[in-house]
């Protein structure tokens, strides 16, 4: 039986025949799943853009210009008062402690080191005996020189007696003038020999004295370089021991060449100016001294000038080779304008402070800072005594902001304290204005 194609097979009748729809009445065809996902992403992107636009154009009215959320109500701050007092002006430099005098003790003769008479680290005075080299060879040489002199002296005395006889005989014309002159020459020769013997004795005595090694200065001995019993030589490189003079002691430090004019204005050669030796952490003054000399030339490679100061070092707080912060007291400014260091803030246009207004608002004011020392800022320009400034709480402030002052404490406010503005302190200038 022939097969009927699918397109030609009769459809089952399930109901009355439906009339054919025209293309205009047919329902719109829904797109593919890929197109539907693409349209959803477009909708989401538009919604995100609307949200961003809304947040950008409807920011809270109390938000700061820097993007920080504002604070409702007055900002609590700590106030301070601009004061006036005498302020020392320092020049700050980094220096190295140097011994006032240093000497390496060498033996001046060769021989066996018989005795060591000092202890390492001991304080000694000039002339103290440090060691003893075996003196026997030098004593023998001295005795030989003394014996030779005695022999020559005896010959000289005999020659003098002969000369006296020849003098009488020459007067009587018993001998010739030639014989007399020969005798006189012999006397002069023996006299010269005796003089040479005396010099040999002095030389032998010096060598014997050098066998006793003495301290050439007052100071402190270091580590012994050779032990007792060894042969010591005058040409030994390390010597016997190193002695350093610790009282007084020196500090050599550098300052920028720009400070040279200010130093000369106070003293032509800088001598007599007070210098403080401060530890590396700036936690305490180790000693107080004075400028000994300002070097006679500027180092062209660094643009600095070397200054040497002398310190009594009574408590041995300064040690050779130690690094020290040196502070040269240039002058004392009378009636200087000062505020706590944390009052000073740094902005794009330089240093400024927040001034407290009578209506409990704040305003920025530019200032010029001369130096910052011991948490006190010396102001050259911008402030007057008695004005009120913000000491703590600057981080939350902007010009025109309302502030809240703390309740007055008994005795008044000290003007100190360090809060939100402490991290903005200017570094110490260390230079005179």
| Portion of the chain with pLDDT greater than 90, in percent | 57
CATH of the domain at 251: 2.40.30.170
Instruction: Pick 311 or 50 by higher pLDDT.
Output: 311
Phi and psi at residue 329, to the nearest 5°: -80, 105
Residue 317 shares a structural domain with residue 363:
no
CA distance 331 to 371: 13
| In a domain? residue 19 | no
- Identify the pLDDT of residue 318: 95
**pLDDT(67) > 90:** no
**pLDDT(424) > 60:** no
Of 369, 428, 422, whose CA–CA distance to 392 is shortest? 422
- The first and second tokens of residue 159, run together, are 């020659």
**pLDDT(34) > 80:** no
- Identify the pLDDT of residue 58: 56
CATH of the domain at 187: 1.10.287.470
To the nearest 10°, report the CA torsion of 366, 368, 372, 376: -60
Residue 292 shares a structural domain with residue 280:
yes
Residue 232 shares a structural domain with residue 269:
no
**pLDDT(77) > 70:** yes
**pLDDT(393) > 90:** no
* Structure confidence by residue, pLDDT tens digits, 95-149: 999 999 999 999 999 999 999 999 999 999 999 999 999 999 999 999 999 999 9
| In a domain? residue 163 | yes
**153-162, 258-267, 326-335: the lowest-pLDDT one:** 258-267
| In a domain? residue 20 | no
CA distance 245 to 125: 10
Picking from 237, 253, 272, the residue at the C-terminal end of a domain is: 237
Distance of CA 401 to the CA centre of its chain: 43
Residue 122 shares a structural domain with residue 225:
yes
- Identify the pLDDT of residue 266: 82
Give residue 224's pLDDT band: very low, low, confident or very high (50, 70, 90).
very high
Instruction: Pick 43 or 331 by higher pLDDT.
Output: 331
| In a domain? residue 117 | yes
**Beta-strand pair 403-404/75-76:** parallel
- Identify the pLDDT of residue 170: 84
Picking from 304, 333, 362, the residue at the C-terminal end of a domain is: 333
Phi and psi at residue 41, to the nearest 5°: -65, -35
Residue pointed to by tokens 């040497």 = 308
- Identify the pLDDT of residue 63: 45
* Global model pTM greater than 0.85: no
**pLDDT(166) > 50:** yes
- Identify the pLDDT of residue 171: 86
Picking from 333, 348, 364, the residue at the C-terminal end of a domain is: 333
Q: What is the mean predicted confidence (pLDDT) over 72-98?
A: 90
Residue 190 shares a structural domain with residue 79:
no
Instruction: Pick 412 or 365 by higher pLDDT.
Output: 365
Residue 280 shares a structural domain with residue 310:
yes
Instruction: Pick 89 or 283 by higher pLDDT.
Output: 89
| In a domain? residue 147 | yes
| In a domain? residue 167 | yes
Buried b (16+ CB within 10 A) or exposed e, 1-19: eeeeeeeeeeeeeeeeeee
Residue 324 shares a structural domain with residue 339:
no
Residue 118 shares a structural domain with residue 224:
yes
Task: Specify the number of domains making up the chain.
Answer: 4
**pLDDT(347) > 80:** yes
The torsion region of residue 350 among left (phi > 0), alpha (psi -120 to 50) and beta comes to left
Residue pointed to by tokens 């010396």 = 378
| In a domain? residue 227 | yes
CA distance 144 to 204: 9
Q: What is the mean predicted confidence (pLDDT) over 65-89?
A: 75
CATH of the domain at 113: 2.40.50.100
Residue pointed to by tokens 């002069």 = 188
E-state strands within 301-342: 304-311, 323-340
Residue 157 shares a structural domain with residue 223:
no
Q: Residue 162: give the domain boundaries.
A: 135-210
| In a domain? residue 397 | yes
**263-272, 285-294, 345-354: the lowest-pLDDT one:** 263-272
Residue 202 shares a structural domain with residue 247:
no
Average pLDDT, the chain: 82
Residue 144 shares a structural domain with residue 122:
no
CA distance 214 to 121: 16
Other beta carbons within 10 Å of 288: 14
Residue 154 shares a structural domain with residue 121:
no
| Portion of the chain with pLDDT greater than 70, in percent | 80
- The first and second tokens of residue 400, run together, are 């025109």
**pLDDT(358) > 60:** yes
- The first and second tokens of residue 297, run together, are 């030339």
- 72: CB partners within 8 A, 6+ apart: 62
């Amino acid at each position: 039986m022939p097969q009927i194609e699918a397109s030609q097979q009769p459809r089952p009748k399930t109901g009355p025949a439906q009339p054919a729809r025209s293309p205009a009445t047919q329902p719109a065809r829904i797109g593919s799943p890929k197109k539907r996902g693409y349209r959803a992403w477009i909708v989401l992107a538009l919604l995100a853009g609307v949200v961003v636009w809304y947040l950008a154009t409807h920011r809270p009215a109390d938000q700061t210009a820097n993007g920080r959320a504002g604070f409702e109500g007055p900002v609590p701050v700590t106030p301070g008062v601009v004061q006036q007092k005498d302020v020392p002006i320092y020049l700050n430099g980094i220096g190295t402690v140097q011994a006032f005098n240093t000497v390496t003790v060498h033996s001046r003769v060769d021989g066996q080191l018989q005795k060591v008479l000092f202890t390492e680290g001991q304080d000694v005075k000039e002339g103290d005996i440090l060691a003893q080299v075996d003196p026997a060879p030098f004593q023998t040489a001295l005795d030989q020189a003394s014996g030779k002199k005695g022999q020559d002296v005896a010959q000289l005395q005999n020659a003098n007696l002969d000369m006296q006889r020849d003098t009488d005989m020459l007067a009587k014309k018993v001998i010739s003038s030639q014989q007399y002159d020969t005798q006189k020459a012999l006397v002069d020769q023996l006299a010269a020999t005796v003089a040479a013997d005396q010099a040999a004795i002095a030389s032998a005595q010096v060598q014997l004295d050098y066998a006793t090694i003495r301290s050439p200065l007052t100071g402190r001995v270091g580590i012994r370089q050779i032990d007792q019993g060894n042969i010591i030589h005058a040409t030994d490189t390390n010597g016997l021991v190193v002695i350093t003079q610790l009282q007084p002691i020196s500090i050599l430090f550098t300052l920028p060449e720009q400070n040279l004019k200010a130093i000369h204005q106070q003293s032509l050669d800088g001598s007599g100016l007070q210098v403080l030796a401060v530890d590396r952490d700036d936690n305490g003054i180790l000693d107080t001294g004075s400028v000994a000399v300002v070097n006679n030339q500027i180092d062209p490679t660094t643009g600095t000038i070397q200054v040497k100061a002398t310190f009594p070092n009574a408590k041995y707080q300064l040690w050779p080779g130690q690094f020290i912060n040196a502070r040269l007291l240039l002058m004392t400014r009378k009636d200087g304008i000062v505020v706590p260091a944390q009052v000073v803030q740094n902005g794009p246009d330089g240093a400024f402070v927040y001034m407290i207004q009578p209506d409990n608002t704040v305003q920025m004011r530019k200032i010029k800072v001369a130096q910052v020392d011991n948490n006190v800022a010396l102001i050259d320009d911008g402030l007057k005594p008695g004005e009120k400034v913000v000491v703590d709480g600057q981080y939350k402030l902007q010009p025109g902001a309302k502030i809240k002052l703390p309740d007055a404490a008994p005795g008044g406010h000290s003007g100190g304290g360090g809060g939100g503005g402490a991290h903005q302190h200017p570094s110490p200038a260390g230079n005179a204005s």
